[in-house]
Structure formats: structure tokens, C-alpha cells
Amino acid sequence: MKRRLEGLEGAGSEATGVGGAVGAAVPAQGVPRTGEIVGLTTAEVAERVADGRVNDVPAQSSRSIGEIVRANLFTRINAIIGVLFGIVMVVGPVQDGLFGGVILANTMIGIIQEVRAKRTLDQLAIVGESRPRVRRDGKRVTIGSSEVVIDDTIELGQGDKVVVDGTVIAADGLEIDESLLTGEADPVLKLPGDTVMSGSFVVAGTGAFTATRVGREAYASQLADEARRFTLVNSELRNGIDRILKFVTFAIVPAGIALIITQLMVNDDDVPEAIRRMVGGLVPMVPEGLVLLTSLAFAVGVVRLGKRKALVQELPAIEGLARVDVVCLDKTGTLTETAMDVDRVIRLEPGLPVEEVLGALGAADERPNASMQAIVDSHPAPEGWERRANAPFSSARRWSGATFLRPSGEEDSWLLGAPDTMLPAGHPVLATADSHGSLGLRVLLLARSSRPLGALQDDPSAVPGSAVPCALVVIRQRIREEAPATLRYFAEQGVAVKVISGDNALSVGAVARSLNLPGADDPVDARDLPDDPKALADAVEKHSVFGRVGPQQKRDMVLALQSRGHTVAMTGDGVNDVLALKDADIGVAMGAGSPATRAVAQIVLLDNSFASLPSVVAEGRRVIGNIERVTNLFLTKTMYSVLMALVVVIAQVPYPFLPRHITLIGSLTIGIPAFFLALAPNSERARPHFVGRVLWFAVPAGALAALATSVSYMYARSVYADDLDAETSAATLTLFLTALWALAIVARPYTWWRVLLVLTMATSFAVVLVVPYLQEFFQLELIGTSAPGAAVAAAAVAGLVLEFVWARSRRRLIDG
């Protein structure tokens, strides 16, 4: 491996001489620039790839196809249904085994949809992955993380994520934040010879390091691999369904055992019929489609968001965004475009080479941020200016600087940054800066320093007394076209918006006012916020626009909102947003943002469009709201099945249904409608206490269905004596009508297609009752008018009572 690293030892000793303090200025003279490093040759890379010394840990954004098949096929519910299906197939006839085909079809649908979601995730993950810049054959090459080999030379700049472990070989004010690994919030200054760990990220400066550990040997590879997995658990919704299934299991086991014994006793002269009736009672107790439709709704959500270029790195984020009631926005890159333009330069001290200094500062920055890039675009680099020392920009300091030796032989240190950070309060230049900031313009101060850069970084409080103002650089920011409509959407949905930015509070407030954001007329300087958590929470609750917010403050503000019971989403694109993104309930990063922000965010907007966020929120609400709808239906079925079994056990009578009847009712009132309802639009904001709300409807609905069906069945037994088929037909009519009424309630509010869906299910059942072949196939025939009339009357009474229960539950939801 060849590198031109002349003067490296000297650079290391000089850097160490500043005391190794965080943020210490690194002398530029003698330090190898990353452009001087040759790196590996093509042959050396090929040799390491052949030996397997490559960063071969795939970014697993989804489960493998094998895992998907196993997860959908080999489930406890499928095992129970499979055993019952096998039993029915032994005693026949085939129409009593229809429920087995339904389960198989549902499982295949689940597998197909999740495979689609996997392909979408995998394709988007490739677009959104960190792509490090390495030196090979003396050239800078951008590659995928998995293409890094041992001994590769990897360049680093502000916002870059460290993708493998390594040793620093060149550093120019390089500061690494290792808080995601160690929990230590303060950035660490890295010098040649120091170690960097995968999972950390650059907050200031530039540098390069040699990869020493790659693949599964890297420090954070297991952590990163696990964090990016496609998961269907660890969410309030999934946890709630798991709790419901546990309750159901406790109810099913005793009811099922009692039903088995009863049916064998009651039908002791016809064992096959007893078995069929037993299976007919057990099958509907199992909410077989509930978990499937939950997974299906999530998977379809991933596909839909993928079409909008939104990468869901953690699946529960879809659900989390549906619950969000506060969105924290960083201004730059979110409300405004990342690109900026220099509007004007206001000279404060005549006779100074302001244009040349700005050009030199821009040329000295290998990885300019948006503000510096605007300066680079408008000020060409002067000739003959030699950089002697450098203090890279840091979000915590809010300024950068460099020492130059000019062609005239003069050596000066220059600072560029926030005026209110670099000048003492009350300085007359601040009034000029504020007058421009109040118009929504970003203002930077160019100043000469009377002290060495290293001393200022060691003691930032000395900057206001050492900076001699020379010029104000006024930068115009471009407001995103989609920002007004997006903010209007959140206002309509009752989601509070907090703008928290590192820029001047007046400038942030002006931008917010131009977007008609509530509270924009009262922007707050975050440096004046209290340290006390309770007082901070009060301030963040009261105000909407904050400026001069540091990285740690952004995190504290997110935590303060969470302490008040809010579900907080944080959006950002810069390295100063990483800590807040990590601690927010949902972190949303822009695709063009720093690799560090993309790494910790749950959702990445790959098209960099803030307008995509409402779509993501809407998708989450669709998933949550619709799963709650179908859960009501499935638990209603489980409840009436368990209660019917208890009635049969107590009354010592045959179970009123065969498996074919339960399959027919379940398909028309739950299975088919639930499939459409689970994927329908839904804009209701998700609310907590999912389990309680579902049980509040499903328990009384199931009880009413069981009561009405039992009354109809017992009356039919008195009318038809021992004609079990006629008795079953009357009971089936009552149960179908009651379940259909429950479906009609759950389908509200009505749209044309929901009305059509309910009517189609009713018509389908009517067709079964009037078509002779279907009558015989499903063993259904209504005889006379007395029992059928009583069946309809019982269903009508149950439906009216259910309407009262639904109205009570809706009032309880609104009040709660």
C-alpha cells in the first residue's frame, strides 16, 4: 500500500502540542491533505476481496424470503387450523374443510405482499445507504459500504458516518461524535494514530483513516445490522394484538375442551357428525386472519411509501408517525432548500481584502456546508494564500476559522460565523445583523482574531473579546415550494409544529412567518432557555419557533416534549440533528442529508421532499385505523364463538353450526370485508389504549350475537323438533344478520364503496339461500315463516342494542 505521508510524524507531534483538547486547532502546515493520499491499488483491492477481507455485512433492511415463508406459514394459528382441517378431511365432506383453503389463501397473500415489501425495501436501502469516499490508485472513489476492504483509506468530512473501524492517518480539526456507541455526548478530537469506531460520525473537520477491522469484526456491525432489520414487532399495535391473543387463548382452551366432550356425548350415535359440529365450534374461536392482516397492512404500507421514495428503516415507524402530535423541524434543509446564495457583503472595516479572505476560507474547506458553499460559489480562491492553521466549523461553536500567510508576508487569523456568538451583547454590528435576519436572511460575520485559533477553541468565551468585525455576509435562503402546504396539513390534522434551528432566532422567525406558522411572531433564542427540565418543558410547550439551538439542546427539547406526554417526530438533515433524531419517537432524515442522520433515522425521505411527510403520516394512520377496524370484527367472532360453545355445553344440545356455515359467515362478514377495510384510506389520528377500545366494542358485540343466535336456535328447536338442518339454518340466518350489522357499524363513515361492500356481502348470502345447488352445498334451507321470522327479529333487536353500544364507545373515545 502506497501513501505519500511526508511530515506525518511532525504533524502528529504539533497537534499533540495543543494539549489534545476537544476542538483544538490543528496546524495546517505539514499535515497531509486527503488529496495527497494514494491509497490501495486496484490489484491490492482485488487481492483482499479474493481473501474475503471485505466489509461483507449486508445492510439487511428486510427479512429473507425463507424467513418470510416460515413466519407466515409456520404459526401457532396455522398449526391449530391445520389439525382441525385434517380431522375434518377424515370424516368429510369436503365442504366442511373450506376453512383450510381460506387459511392457505390468506397465508399466500401474506407471503406475496411481504416479498413485495422486501423488494421495495431492499431497492430503497441501496439508494439510501452510506457511501464512503475512499482513495484508490491516488483517486477519490465513492463506493458502497460493503465494498470497503481491509487497509482501505477512507476520507471523512462533517456529517460522515464511520462505516468500519480504523486508525486515523490524516486529520484537520477532525472531531468525532461517539455518543451513539459510548453515550458520551462531547465530541472527541482525533489525531493521527487514534482509533475510530464504526457507528460514530464526524461533527467537525476532515481527515482520513485506514480500515483495520471490517465486516462482522467491526465494533458496531452487529448493532447496526440488528437496528436495520425489517421487524413486525415492538409496537403498541402489535403488543396489543399479542395481549388480545393471550386473552383469547385462555378463553378458547376450557371452552374448546367442554365443547368436544359435549358434542361427543350429545351425538354419540353419529360420531362423524359430532366431530364436524365440534370443529365447527372450535374454528371460529381462532382469530386466524388478525395477525395476517396486521402484517399485510404494514407490508402494503411499506410498498406505498416506497413509491413515494420514503425508506422505512424500522417498520413500527409507520405506526409511530400515526400517533405523532408534535413535529420538530430543522429550518435549513427542511423548510428551506439546502442550497443558498450570497445576497451581499457589507464591509465594516475599509481597506481589508474581504473578498480574498472569503475566497481563501472557502478554498480551505474541503467539505463546505451550505453557507460556505454559497461563499465558494461567489468568491474564487485567491492566489498565493497559504493556510497555516485551521479551526473547522462546529455546530456547538457556531464559527470556523483559519490562519493564512498572505503573499505580502502578513499572517492573520480569520473567523467566520454567527455574529451574536462572536460579538459581545450590545455591539452595534449586531443591530445591523438583526435587521437583515428579521427579513429571513442568514447573516455571517467575518472577523479578524487577535488571538491564536487554538486558544479560542480551548476557551470559546474569549471569542467575543477577540473578534474584530470586518464584514457581514448576507445569505439568502430559498424556501421550499412544498413547505406552506405541508405546514397547513399539519395544522388541519391537529399536529403542533416546532421549528428548532441553529440559526439566529429573528431569521428563523421571519422564515416561519412567511409560512404563516402559528407562534412565528414570538421567536425564542434558545440560549435564554432555562436548564431546569420542567421550566424547559413549559417554554417548549408555549412557543413554536426557536433559534440558536445547539445539538444537545435539540435533544433536550425533544425529551422535554416527551415528558409532557407528546409523541414527537424530529426531522433534519445535518449532523447537529443526530442526537435529537435518535431520541425522538420518530426520526425523519432527508436523503441528501448527512450519512449520520440517515443512519439513526427510522424514515429517510430519499427525494428530499418535505411534502412526502404528510403521505407518511397518512399511511401510518391508515394502517392503525384499519387494523383497529378489522380487530373489532375478528374479536367479535371469537367472542360469540366462545359464548355459543358455553351455551351448547350448558344446554347439552348439538352445536348449531357445521364448519361450512362458519366459513360462509366468517368469509362474508369478516374475511373478505376485512381485506378491503385493512387497505382502505383512513385519516383518523391514532389514539392510545388500542386494546381497551377494541374490547369495548367486541365483547358486547360478540355477546349480543351469541345471545340472539342462541334464542333463535332454541326457538327453532321447539318449532322443528329434531330437524337439525332446519334449526341450523335459522341460527345461521340470525348470526349472519347480526355479524353483518356489526360489519356495517365498523365500516363507518360510509363511502360509496363501503356501502357497496356491505350490500355485496348481504346479496351473496341471499344468493346462497335461494340457489338450490348452494343450498345443498352449504346445507341451508329456511322452512316456514315462524322460525325464520324469529331469527330476523332476534338479529334486529341485537343490532339495535349494538348501535347503542357503538354510540357509547364513540362518546367514550371522544371524551377520553
Query: If you write DSSP's letter for every residue of 727-793 in order, what string do you get?
Result: HHHHHHHHHHHHHHHHHHHHTPSP-HHHHHHHHHHHHHHHHHHH-HHHHHHHT----SSHHHHHHHH
Tell me the C-alpha distance between 308 and 238, whole Å: 25
Residue in 478, 453, 446 with CA at minimum distance from that of residue 341: 478
CA terminus-to-terminus distance, the chain: 67
Q: Which helix (H) or strand (E) holds 576?
A: none
Task: Classify the phi-psi angles of 92: left when phi > 0, otherwise alpha if psi is within -120 to 50, otherwise beta.
Answer: left
Side-chain-side CA neighbours of 553 within 13 Å: the count stands at 22
* 60, 229 contact by CB (below 8 A): yes
User: 136: which strand partners?
Assistant: 40, 139
Using DSSP, state whether 142 is helix, strand or coil.
strand
Q: Which stretches of 450-567 are assigned E, i.e. beta strand?
A: 467-479, 496-500, 524-525, 545-547
User: 417: which strand partners?
Assistant: 399, 445
* 163, 145 contact by CB (below 8 A): yes
In one letter, which amino acid is 690? Answer: F
Cell numbers linked to 191: 489525531
Tell me the C-alpha distance between 392 and 369, whole Å: 11
The values of phi and psi at residue 391, to 5°, are: -125, 95
* 615, 308 contact by CB (below 8 A): yes
152, 172, 330, 577: the catalytic one is 330
Residue in 635, 649, 634, 654 with CA at minimum distance from that of residue 254: 649
* 340, 364 contact by CB (below 8 A): no
In one letter, which amino acid is 210? Answer: T
Cell numbers linked to 407: 503573499
User: 312: which strand partners?
Assistant: 603
Tell me the C-alpha distance between 656 and 598, whole Å: 58
Cell numbers linked to 88: 375434518
Q: Strand 586-590's sheet: what is its strand order?
A: 310-312, 603-605, 586-590, 568-572, 326-329, 496-500, 545-547, 524-525
* Residue 177 annotated as catalytic: no
Please list the active-site residues. 330
